[in-house]
Every structure is written in structure tokens, then in C-alpha cells.
Structure 1
């Protein structure tokens, strides 16, 4: 499944010109999804409201965004339309609709065959057999998406273990999935309360790139969307720079690290050996590639700690120039300490499984 990044727009609470500027910035950086809330639409001034939505949706579509409108049963009532006719959303320019609340199962299945060809996105933030029920009704599976909720109130976001179980229910069917990260400065959202808009509670105060790295590392989320608007230019660029397919960890070099060692660290695609040990993550190909390169011992006498990056020195014989990441404290004078994983990213080491590919980069 191809992975993508997206932003959120709240036309009922935003300025159309600012929305357009935000969309243009995001498009330039490679963003391709837009989450747009219609939950706040009211019957009053409906014509003007729908025209506002239409203009910003078509503007986004012209920039090649896929636009999913967040709706619930009350939205149909407010707009005076039925589940059997989604032509209004098609006319607005939407790519699909997100059902914030559950229907009957059969209803979702029927909606997935809508003649307008709209995607039907389901709420993923429930660890119940909701999707299983829909799948028994044989939906048009390629038109079914999944997307977690976003949580404006501090303390209300999903706990990680619950998130995993709920997400696994969708991934087992190969459904395209999405979740939200939060800007640390943006204030725009669907409600007056806005303590950030992440899916996971642990993400609420994290840098935006780290939130995204975590979601992609789980292999449960295909689309990462910034929940609040408007993220800063710096945050947009930081998220856009995240490697969506290969876990890339930021490192800080030791002062004595050599040019060769820096090349081994940064100029190679690493992968963990399949026959793992719980003491270190071993990347063994560098010892083959750099077998003829000398690597004298230095910075090699201290006790090594979680997240330390070491490279075998000349005294390590056949294992010279093998790169390892320390998982448990140890001491070995045959290993040069060359760098350290940044402290805030060390928890991501648990996502490096047997044969997992990963990269290392200095910032």
C-alpha cells in the first residue's frame, strides 16, 4: 500500500484565502490528502455554506488532493439528503465521505457501491467487530477506507495498545488506513476546545515528525494527516521529509568518529540480521563491503548503553566494520563508539524486527 501525508481544513471556521495558501504550500511539499469536516454544517444559510465547501474542495482537487468529507447521520438530515443518493458530495467535488458514526453494516456495504464512485471511509477508533460485520455484507472493498478519530481534549486520545488492536482489525483486510498527528502551534479544528488534534494521546506534545515516524513504523497506518490547521511551514516541511517506508533514525556523532565510520553509518541501507540477539541490532553487510578498510580502535573502553551505535574495530577480526546498535548495557573494547540514537527516538528501536530495513542520519 502506498503511503501518503495529508492536512485538515475546517471551512466552517476558517478563511477561504488562508485555506488556499495552506493547500498550495502542502501540495508543493508532496501532501496528497485532505480531511475536511462537515459535521458543523447547519441548515441555515445552506446554499452559501455548500458554495464555500465547493470552492475550497475544487481548489484542492485542482492541486491533485484527494478530499474526504467527515460526516455523520445528522449531516444527511441537515442537508435533506438520503443515504441512497450521494450526488451532492460528488457535485461538491469530494473524493469520498468519512462516516463518523456507524450505520448497520449492510448500509455501509451498499454505500460502497455508490454510482458516484466515492470512497467510503470508516471510523477505525473502536475495537469492535464493526468492520467484520460490514465485510460479511460483501462491500466494494477497493472503495472502503479506514480513518481513526482525532481528539481535541487533552487526555482523551487513544492509548497505544488500544490503537494497535483497533488498527489490526482493518489491516487484516488490506484496508487503506489513516490516523492524525498534531501541530504544536496550530489552533484550527472542529470544536472550540483544541489541545492539539492527534489520534494517539502519547503524541500530543511530540514533534510532528516523530509522531509520523511512529505511526509509519507500526506498519498499521498508510496515511498520516495533520489534524489541526494551520501547521507552520517548518512543521509541514518536517513531516514531508519523513521517510514513509524505511524507518530513519537521527543520530549524534561522537567527536572522534572517523570519515569511514560516518560513511558506514549514513551511506548504507541497514537491515537487522534474521537470527537476532536481544543484546544488539546487528547490521552485518558493512563488514563485507568495507572488509579491506582499516579501522583502528578508539573510543572503545566505556560501558555501552541503549541506543549507542558501535562499529567493530581492527581487533574484532572477521567482524571488523560491522555496525551494531546497543540494546542492553555491555562493554567490549573491540567496538568503537561512533554515535548515539537521539534519546527521543530510542523507543523506535523496538520496531526493528528480524530483517527490518532502516537508515541512520545525522542532523
Structure 2
């Protein structure tokens, strides 16, 4: 499931409308960003409330104990938050009382901070009577470069939530407007900082099995939104290719055998005259020519830098931002080339 984010200082109602029109129903916001001035916070929050109400979007609000004062509420006035139209809470540090979480579940969807959740805490929640089936755990995002999670830590941490069958939420960077005040992306995984949003989404879904994937930055591009939603609805992976008009336009199956050097597309074996034959750096799309014998007509994509081959006609190149897609092509989903 794709979610987006909207923040008081730079909220764009038109972006929310476009996302809603594309099928997005979930929005994340933070009510504890210290860089928001009181005016920016008040005006932006009002704009957000009006937009999500008009579009019937669900909002997860990230709160801390300081949030109540920013909203003009008494400490721990959760009824006041509910009355403002916010019914999903992401609890940051300071809200780790199992009795409070059980109480909040009566009215809110409760989203816990994944960094603070350990086995003993889950056991304490269970003893208190918290309905673990209705919980969500959300990883942090990390505005400061070089502070995001490693892939190994992320995967190991997620085993706990998978064992307890608790849905997991993580953030990917946006490839449109970056979030203030650092403007360096807000990913969960450090290696995804600077990733194209579409590539980051597919990696989160296919490699890590994350169910709730939110764009942490303030916007993603219309192109990435369309490709993500297409994958969500049809299971088709869009592969952008530069420098060609010769590739098939229909979805194609990928061979299930995973090779270290190339992705093999299932296409008819057919006569293919020798054409332009170039070097094959990672991302190069080729079709085997008649020198390949019975393999002529097969379309391949170089996953790594491969040596020159006289049997491989050049068709195009997967641009660098989309190279992270290639290790994800294992035959589980069809691919569709699109010219850039």
C-alpha cells in the first residue's frame, strides 16, 4: 500500500488531489517539527485538515508529548486530537505505557515506533490486553544524511514484527519536493537516500516485504506515482529505457532462473540480423542476433558490466536511477518497457 506525506509548512493541496485521484488513500504528517513557526503550523494544519476531509483521506499523525501544546490542548488530551479529525496516531518517544496504548485503541489506530519495540514490550502489551492484530509498527525516517538504517539491521528488526504478525510501515524518499529543513530526503534505509521513488518502493515491497510504504518527503513525481500505482494494481513492473523505439510495448515475462549477470526476457526465438553491437555496461538492453544461433531474438538486460559480445545487438539503456530495479526481476512479475 502506498502512502504519501504532507507537512504544515509546504503542504500542496493540488498534490493531495492528484495522489487521491491516482488511488492514494493514506497520508502521514508530523505535528512535532520544531522548524514550523506557530503561523506556519496553524495555517498549514488547517489546510491539511480541509484537504484530507474533502478527499476522504486517512491521516497518520506523528505526535510527541509536546504536540498537545502546539495544538492548544491540555497535556494528553487525546480526545482533542480525535475531535480535530485525526484517528491514527504514530506514537513517538514518551508514549510507551501499555495501559495507555490499550485505551487509545478504543478510538485510534495505534502506530508504534519500531525502534522502541522489543520482545519484552510486546509481551507487556499482550498481558495488558492490547489487541496486537490492530497495531502497526512504523520505522523512523532520517533527514540527516548517513543516519538511516542499514539493510541488515532493517531486515533483522523486521523478523520480530513478522513473527508477531504485526503490519510494518517504512518510508522511502520522494523524487519531487524534498522535506524541509534539510532537503536531503527522509528515507528509512540509508542506501535509498537519493533513490528514485519508484525503485525504492519496489525494493521495499519485493525485497523486504513491507506492507505499508509511505513517501516520507513532501512530494513524489507524477511519473513515479503512476508507475507505483500500476504495480500495486496489476503487478506489472515498468522498465524505462532510453535510446530506443524498438522494444516490445506489451508486458513480457521474465525467466524465473536468476542469473548473476543478466535478466532474460521471454521473447520468441526468431531471425535477427546483426545490428549495432556495443559494449554492455550495467543497464544495457540487447537482443541476441543470428550469431547467437538458437538464442536469436532473446532480449536480455545486463545486471552488471558485461564484456562485449558480437551476438548482442544494442537496443537501449536503463537509466542509472532505475538500475536498482534489475536485481528485483526474478520472474515473479511481468515487465513492460517504456521509452524515455
- When the two structures are superposed, what TM-score results if normalisation uses the length of structure 2? 0.76
1:23 paired with 2:6, answer: no
Counterpart of 1:98 in structure 2 is 90
Match of 2:113 in 1: 123
1:39 aligns with 2:59: no
Counterparts of 1:209-220 in structure 2, within 5 Å, are: 209-220=198-209
8 Å Cα contact 1:50/1:92 also seen in 2:
no
Distance change in 2, residues 1:64/1:335 (3 Å) = same
**2:5 corresponding residue in structure 1:** 7
Q: CA deviation at 1:128?
A: 4.7
Q: Is the 8 A contact 1:39 1:70 kept in 2?
A: yes
CA distance in 1 between partners of 2:253 and 2:84 (Å): 47
- 1:75-114 matches, cutoff 5 A: 75=67, 79-80=73-74, 82=76, 86-101=78-93, 103-104=95-96, 106-107=98-99, 110-111=102-103, 113-114=105-106
Residue 237 (structure 1) shift:
1.1
Over 3 Å counting, the alpha-carbon distance change for 1:21 and 1:325 in structure 2 is closer
- CA displacement at 1:119 relative to structure 2: 1.1
Identify which of 146, 169, 174 aligns with 1:177.
169
Unaligned runs of 5+ residues in structure 1 are none
- Give the match's secondary structure for 1:221: coil
Q: How far is 1:96 from its partner?
A: 0.6
Is 1:277–2:259 an aligned residue pair?
Answer: yes
Query: Which residue matches 1:296?
Result: 273
Match of 1:248, SS?
strand
Q: Residue 56 of structure 2 aligns to a residue in which SS? A: coil
Q: 1:253 to 1:50 in 2, by over 3 A?
A: closer
Query: Partners in 2 of 1:122 and 1:210 — Cα distance?
Result: 26
1:238 counterpart residue number: 223
209-218 vs 128-137, which moves further: 128-137
Taking structure 1 as reference, are residues 327 and 136 closer, same or farther at Cα in structure 2, changes over 3 Å only?
same
For the 8 Å contact 1:309–1:325, the answer to whether it is kept is yes
**Unmatched segments (≥5 aa) in structure 2:** none
Name the count of aligned residue pairs.
325
Question: 1:331: how far off?
Answer: 4.8
- Equivalence for 1:225: 214
Instruction: After TM superposition, give the deviation of residue 100 of structure 1 in Å.
Output: 1.4
Maintained 8 Å contact 1:171/1:177: no
1:251 maps to 2:241: yes
CA apart distance, 1:250: 2.0
TM-score between both structures, scaled by the size of structure 1:
0.72
CA distance in 1: counterparts of 2:328 and 2:154, whole angstroms: 16
Among residues 316, 324, 328, which one is paired with 1:347 in the alignment?
A: 324
Change in 2 beyond 3 A, CA 1:160/1:25: same
- Distance in 2, matches of 1:336 and 1:108, equals 64
Aligned mates of 1:156, 1:319 — CA distance in 2: 47
Question: Given that residues 144 and 176 in structure 1 are in contact (C-alpha distance below 8 angstroms), is that contact kept between their aligned partners in structure 2?
Answer: no
- Partner SS for 1:281: strand
Question: Do 2:101 and 2:110's aligned partners in 1 also have CA atoms closer than 8 Å?
Answer: no
